[in-house]
Amino acid sequence: MMNPTNVYTVPSVSITTARTGASSKANELGMRAMQERAYAKRGEQYLLIKSPPASGKSRALMFIALDKLNNQGLRQAIIVVPERSIGGSFAGEPLSQYGFYWDWQVAPQWNLCNAPGVDEPRVAKSKVDAVRKFLTSTDKVLVCTHATFRFAVEELGIEAFDNCLIAIDEFHHVSSSPDNKLGSQLGAFIARDKVHMVAMTGSYFRGDSEAVLAPADEARFDTVTYTYYEQLNGYVWLKSLDIGYFFYTGRYVDAIAKVLNPELKTIVHIPSVNSRESLQDKEREVNEIMSALGDWYGVDPATGFHLVKAKDGRILKLADLVDDSDAVRRSRVLAALKDPAHKDNRDHVDVIIALGMAKEGFDWIWCEHALTVGYRSSLTEIVQIIGRATRDAVGKERARFTNLIAEPAAEQIAVAEAVNDMLKAISASLLMEQVLAPRYEFTPKDAGPKEGFDYGPEGYQLGRTNMGVNERTGQYHVEINGLTAPQSPEATRICKEDLNEVVTSFLQDKSVLERGLFDKENTLPEELTQLHMGKIVRERYPGLSEADQEAIRQHAIAAMNITQQAKLALAQVDANGSDSTQGSTALLDGVRKFVNVRDLDIDLIDRINPFDAAYAVLAKTMDEKSLRQVQASIAAKKVSIPEDEARELAKRALQFKNERGRLPDINSADAWEKRMAEGVAALARYRAQAKAAQAQGVSGNG
């Protein structure tokens, strides 16, 4: 097992920021960078804002909604949030004090998140009646939950909302699945085309395989993208963010002391009672976590916080959001956490322990460490939890996310389940790496310099691999020889805006993770980069041409592999004794180190296993015996070439023939050429079998 002192020296993901302060500065209208970018598109009928937690999406919506109500002729605005607790984010704001034209005002009776009762059909009638009254009133703004809005649309019909703005917060809760009622309703609104819609999310990708919107509906939206990289880079105080997983054996409460530092302001999310990690007694788990921090010292009567005397003598204040047996105490704790009088007081609370709360919409700017026990099946949930620690606060220079997960061990009965959990944790970590990375703008070699990009002391030069950086937007421009450029506007948009969604699908493919991480001897990089990623792109964008599908595939793999190779380059620098994490340009230096070869081409990128860097981290953090066991169990799964993969290999073989004048040789020393030839042979077998079956069927019928 990894030495506890090394928990944070080998994080799976690490980003160091430039601390420019840009994301915190307001313009003359009181708008921060993301809000200004969103407001510039206020005239769009359908607007999708993809922006990380703490970037100011709530206020961005206020600016846009007020303009639509006052300048664009819309009659009312309805703000829809997933949970009642988030409704407070849309409370009244005196925006004119900061330079804007109007104030944001919500009459108390129209913030239905504050109304009594729960959002269930049998008790929702009063809230639906309130929505009906609002729609016939002269008031302008209503705030309600997703559930209330669903019931209101079911009862009142979509026509009742004509000429309104519908703003959906935490849009990733929506799905294009027919079973998702809100998703179906939004599709109906878009088809009727009589409303304006603003959708906001910190993580557009979902934790499952369902798309958020149907492709035709998504094409109607104009997108505002503000990346995590821009957000963190523009902070004043926060300097670095580490994300990693820590493996344990036995009970998690016995291992938690190794990663729970009482000197850090921490949110601990304990596992669901239905998970393998749970001890099936959530109150006992909280008590044991408190014991790991020190000796219980009583309860603060004013806040309901537990007082724990740490080993260094300090009295820690711990908020327990797990125990729901005493409603009065729980309400007191929640009220104390939300008390605005203590928002700027770093010492108000030290540790928060939660089960399902303290994720979305929970703001504790002083949080330095988000510690989650057990894997989370939803990647969206991981993004939201990490967002709790990435607020900027005075003196807070470092933030951490740790996923504490059970290590697959030989003596465990459910080894397969443990491996599955581990793969999901790694998948989430790799996805976050893409979320945190800067946006890439790839072009074919010698396409020319991009305006606003700095190409270094020598400037842009024809005939070499060029790389430019736009500090303002946090974008990297990289030229790649042989890159296929997107042809259609939709493919161009996907390459600019939606590569993370493509990479998400790739990382959620269990076979890709298994073979890419643990069966590298039998798995060629091209099988992952060309076949698997190609299949994902074709299934995700079936309406695009083959050329556009190939362009998206190349862009997605380039984004993944350049980031991964940058991480490996940085790890090599660190291994040689240089602490690169202290510099504000660490990731940029790593990218430059990889890109700075004269012949960076798409073939080179396709020959890189996207999981090399992840495996290097895993080898440092995981018990060697367990690692070998996982490798052996995955390598033992004999995988024949499926028919669809054989067909794709045959297509690649045809490209090979067009380029070289011959078909791939099955005896070639080049592993990828040999694999293509095997694919051609496999496809021939599948066709022969199909022909024989057809002949047998004809014979049988005769």
Kind and range of the H or E run holding 439: strand 439-444
Domain count, the chain: 4
- pLDDT at res. 2: 39
Q: What is the CA radius of gyration of the chain?
A: 27
Residue 224, both tokens:
């505002």
Of 214, 231, 248, at which residue does a domain stop?
231
CATH of the domain at 331: 3.40.50.300
Please determine, for residue 413, whether its predicted confidence score (pLDDT) is greater than 60.
no
- Domain assignment present for residue 427? The answer is no
Q: How far apart are CA 330 and CA 324, in angstroms?
A: 6
User: Does one domain contain both 267 and 359?
Assistant: yes
Answer for the pair 56, 202: CB distance below 8 angstroms, yes or no. no
pLDDT digits (tens, 9 = 90+) for 352-406: 998 866 555 567 889 999 999 887 766 667 777 888 888 889 999 999 988 888 7
CA atoms within 13 A on the CB side of 292: 20
Q: How far apart are CA 603 and CA 592, in angstroms?
A: 19
pLDDT digits (tens, 9 = 90+) for 680-702: 888 887 887 787 777 776 656 55
CA 191 to chain centre: 29
User: Does one domain contain both 99 and 25?
Assistant: yes
Nearest to 664 by CA among 688, 641, 683, 680: 680
Domain housing 140: 20-231
Residue 205 contacts by C-beta under 8 Å, 6 or more apart in sequence? 172, 379, 380, 431, 500, 501, 504
- Domain assignment present for residue 100? The answer is yes
Q: Give the model's confidence band at 583: pLDDT under 50 very low, under 70 low, under 90 confident, else very high.
A: very low
Q: How far apart are CA 361 and CA 58, in angstroms?
A: 10
pLDDT digits (tens, 9 = 90+) for 185-203: 888 999 999 999 998 887 6
Of 639, 665, 683, at which residue does a domain stop?
639
- pLDDT at res. 388: 82
User: Does one domain contain both 35 and 114?
Assistant: yes
Q: How far apart are CA 501 and CA 498, in angstroms?
A: 5
- Domain assignment present for residue 542? The answer is yes
User: Does one domain contain both 386 and 455?
Assistant: no
Q: Give the model's confidence band at 606: pLDDT under 50 very low, under 70 low, under 90 confident, else very high.
A: very high
Q: How far apart are CA 248 and CA 13, in angstroms?
A: 19
Q: How far is CA 618 from CA 13, 74, 374, 405, 422, in A?
A: 12, 54, 17, 13, 10
User: Does one domain contain both 183 and 95?
Assistant: yes
User: Does one domain contain both 350 and 497?
Assistant: no
Answer for the pair 623, 1: CB distance below 8 angstroms, yes or no. yes
Predicted structure pTM score: 0.76
Q: How far apart are CA 396 and CA 272, in angstroms?
A: 30
- Domain assignment present for residue 27? The answer is yes
Nearest to 172 by CA among 539, 544, 504, 509: 504
116-132 burial, b for 16+ CB within 10 Å, e for fewer? Answer: eeebeeeebeebbebbe
**Mean pLDDT across the stretch 87-98?**
88
Of 588, 622, 639, at which residue does a domain stop?
639
User: Does one domain contain both 11 and 26?
Assistant: no
- Domain assignment present for residue 426? The answer is no
- Domain assignment present for residue 688? The answer is yes
- Give the N- to C-terminal CA distance of the chain in Å, as an integer: 68
Please determine, for residue 640, whether its predicted confidence score (pLDDT) is greater than 90.
no
- pLDDT at res. 124: 61
CA atoms within 13 A on the CB side of 663: 13
Q: Give me the amino acid identity at 325.
A: S
Is 568 in a helix, a strand, or coil? Answer: helix
Answer for the pair 564, 610: CB distance below 8 angstroms, yes or no. yes
User: Does one domain contain both 466 and 592?
Assistant: yes
Q: Give the model's confidence band at 626: pLDDT under 50 very low, under 70 low, under 90 confident, else very high.
A: confident
Q: How far apart are CA 346 and CA 633, in angstroms?
A: 48
How much is the mean pLDDT over the chain? 82
- Domain assignment present for residue 366? The answer is yes
User: Does one domain contain both 307 and 223?
Assistant: no
77-110 burial, b for 16+ CB within 10 Å, e for fewer? Answer: bbbbbbbbbbbbbbeebebeeeebeeebbbeeeb
User: Does one domain contain both 101 and 200?
Assistant: yes
- Domain assignment present for residue 110? The answer is yes
Q: Give the model's confidence band at 3: pLDDT under 50 very low, under 70 low, under 90 confident, else very high.
A: very low
User: Does one domain contain both 442 and 344?
Assistant: no
CA atoms within 13 A on the CB side of 259: 29
User: Does one domain contain both 124 and 71?
Assistant: yes
355-383 burial, b for 16+ CB within 10 Å, e for fewer? Answer: bebbbbbbbbbbbbbbbbbbbbebbbbbb
Q: How far apart are CA 659 and CA 652, in angstroms?
A: 11
Q: How far apart are CA 61 and CA 541, in angstroms?
A: 30
Q: How far apart are CA 124 and CA 203, in angstroms?
A: 29
Answer for the pair 401, 431: CB distance below 8 angstroms, yes or no. no
Residue 521, both tokens:
């001897």
